[in-house]
């Protein structure tokens, strides 16, 4: 018998996250996902009157393709993927993996080349379809979170099927504030960073793009970032785990970057000129996600966190930065992680992970749970 949680999640993705309607064409991109869930998702799309196209992928197979790719192969793949994506009104990707480091031995220059050539596919999907991306819970994710497999699966389904409509209502004041903000100041141990988001806009993420969700993002004016930020959570990029990432900025550009693997960090930041500029600034507040698990779709939503993103900007909040890289790096500001402050135009809006401005207190964990 199929787990009833599968049906509930499929229903949420179809009816709320992508709001499928009769005749919509949707690509279901399933990576290391149980067939049982794929079938539930197909059934949910058909119940909505949509037309599902299914792609079933496996990370070990994908690794082998990447290890031997070249520019000719990448351009062929990009052309085929873009042709298909342009046929779609909607897109759901479920990404599982038994080994989060499966692509760790793919040469960095090859990975960068492939990402750069495939970027038009991602841009079209992000900007031209109704999309939602989420992970599938695996033992490796449970291990990264320091949890048993069963406990992690329970957390996963609690987080992924929470009341996102209620959360969306509480986000409105923060989105409104960020849209009218000019100067932002971030403070934390090892962090003193200033930048402007004037005229960039803001966008609330309420379960209709990523699951789990719970953030409002903007983007710095490209040349406005100055100071230093010290991230206190691990981050995984292209199969490599980084810790203690520290970035120094001058007039928007990362001029010094260090980590436990400083050489590889700088290789990624040298992918193209845009990788050393920032493409996103966001505040996270999902009440069920408290600690990092080295999975960015979860970590960027941690209650009391923020993320700052070298690379590509989203068209919805655009500073003009373009890159094959989009690397969300997370700083948690709750007291047990060292604390910290977020200031908008000289007003303290969040302290030690809790919103202190009256109109934003509805986003604190006690209100959202």
User: In 3-state terms, what secondary structure has residue 134?
Assistant: strand
Phi (first) and psi of residue 124, to 5 degrees: -65, -45
Query: pLDDT-based confidence at 369, cuts 50/70/90?
Result: confident
Q: Closest Cα partner for 369 from 156, 169, 162?
A: 162
- Count other C-beta atoms under 10 Å from residue 139's C-beta: 12
Per-domain residue ranges for the chain?
A: 4-160, 164-368
The confidence score (pLDDT) of residue 69 equals 96
Distance CA 127, CA 117 (A): 17
Distance CA 193, CA 190 (A): 10
The confidence score (pLDDT) of residue 146 equals 86
The confidence score (pLDDT) of residue 294 equals 84
Distance CA 198, CA 221 (A): 7
Distance CA 269, CA 251 (A): 16
Asked if 331 and 306 touch (Cβ cutoff 8 Å), the reply is yes
The H or E element that residue 173 is part of is helix 164-180
DSSP state at residue 30: E
User: In 3-state terms, what secondary structure has residue 239?
Assistant: coil
Average pLDDT over residues 310-323: 96
The H or E element that residue 185 is part of is strand 183-188
How does pLDDT run across 86-128, given as a tens digit for each residue?
A: 999 999 999 998 888 899 899 988 998 999 999 999 999 999 9
Decide if pLDDT at 156 tops 70: yes
Q: Closest Cα partner for 209 from 288, 66, 314, 335?
A: 314
Asked if 242 and 328 touch (Cβ cutoff 8 Å), the reply is no
Asked if 53 and 88 touch (Cβ cutoff 8 Å), the reply is yes
The confidence score (pLDDT) of residue 144 equals 81
Average pLDDT over residues 130-149: 90
The confidence score (pLDDT) of residue 97 equals 84
How does pLDDT run across 214-256, given as a tens digit for each residue?
A: 999 999 999 999 999 999 999 989 878 999 999 999 999 999 9
Average pLDDT over residues 259-265: 97
- In 3-state terms the chain splits into helix, strand, coil percentages (rounded to 5) of 40, 25, 35
Q: Closest Cα partner for 80 from 97, 55, 103?
A: 55
The confidence score (pLDDT) of residue 1 equals 66
Decide if pLDDT at 50 tops 70: yes
Decide if pLDDT at 20 tops 90: yes
The confidence score (pLDDT) of residue 35 equals 96
Query: Lowest-pLDDT range, 56-60, 295-299, 311-315?
Result: 295-299
Percent of the chain with pLDDT over 70: 100
Percent of the chain with pLDDT over 90: 84
* Assigned token pair, 92: 């759901």
* Assigned token pair, 258: 């260090």
Instruction: Write down the architecture of domain 4-160 according to CATH.
Output: 3-Layer(aba) Sandwich (3.40)
Distance CA 94, CA 134 (A): 5
pTM: 0.79
Distance CA 369, CA 365 (A): 6
Residue with token string 């719970």: 214
């Amino acid at each position: 018998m199929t787990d009833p949680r599968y049906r509930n999640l499929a229903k949420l993705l179809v009816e709320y996250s992508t709001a499928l309607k009769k005749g919509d064409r949707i690509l279901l991109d399933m990576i290391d996902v149980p067939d049982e869930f794929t079938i539930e998702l197909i059934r949910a799309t058909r119940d909505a009157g949509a037309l599902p196209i299914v792609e079933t992928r496996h990370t070990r197979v994908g690794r082998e393709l990447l290890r031997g790719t070249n520019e000719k192969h990448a351009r062929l793949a990009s052309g085929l993927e873009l042709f298909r994506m342009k046929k779609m009104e909607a897109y759901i990707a479920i990404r599982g993996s038994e080994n989060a480091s499966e692509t760790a031995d793919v040469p960095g220059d090859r990975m960068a080349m492939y990402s750069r050539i495939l970027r038009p596919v991602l841009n079209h999907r992000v900007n031209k379809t109704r999309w939602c991306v989420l992970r599938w819970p695996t033992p490796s994710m449970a291990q990264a979170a320091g949890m048993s497999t069963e406990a992690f699966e329970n957390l996963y389904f609690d987080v992924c099927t929470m009341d996102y409509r209620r959360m969306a209502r509480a986000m409105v004041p923060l989105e409104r504030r960020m849209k009218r903000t000019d100067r932002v100041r971030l403070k934390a141990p090892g962090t003193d960073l200033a930048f402007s988001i004037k005229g960039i806009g803001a966008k609330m993420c309420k379960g209709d793009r990523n699951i789990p969700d719970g953030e409002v993002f903007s983007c710095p004016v490209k040349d406005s970032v100055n100071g230093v930020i010290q991230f206190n959570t691990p981050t995984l990029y292209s199969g490599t785990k980084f810790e203690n990432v520290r970035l120094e900025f001058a007039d928007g550009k990362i001029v010094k970057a260090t980590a436990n693997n400083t050489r590889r960090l700088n290789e990624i930041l040298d992918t193209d000129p845009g990788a050393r500029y920032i493409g996103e600034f966001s505040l996270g507040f999902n009440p069920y996600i408290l600690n990092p698990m080295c999975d960015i779709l979860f970590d960027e939503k941690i209650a009391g966190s923020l993320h700052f993103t070298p690379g590509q900007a989203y068209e919805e909040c655009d500073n003009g930065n373009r890159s094959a890289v989009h690397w969300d790096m997370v700083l948690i500001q709750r007291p047990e992680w060292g604390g910290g402050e977020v200031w908008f135009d000289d007003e303290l809006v969040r302290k030690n992970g809790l919103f202190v401005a009256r109109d934003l207190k509805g986003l604190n964990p006690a209100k959202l749970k």
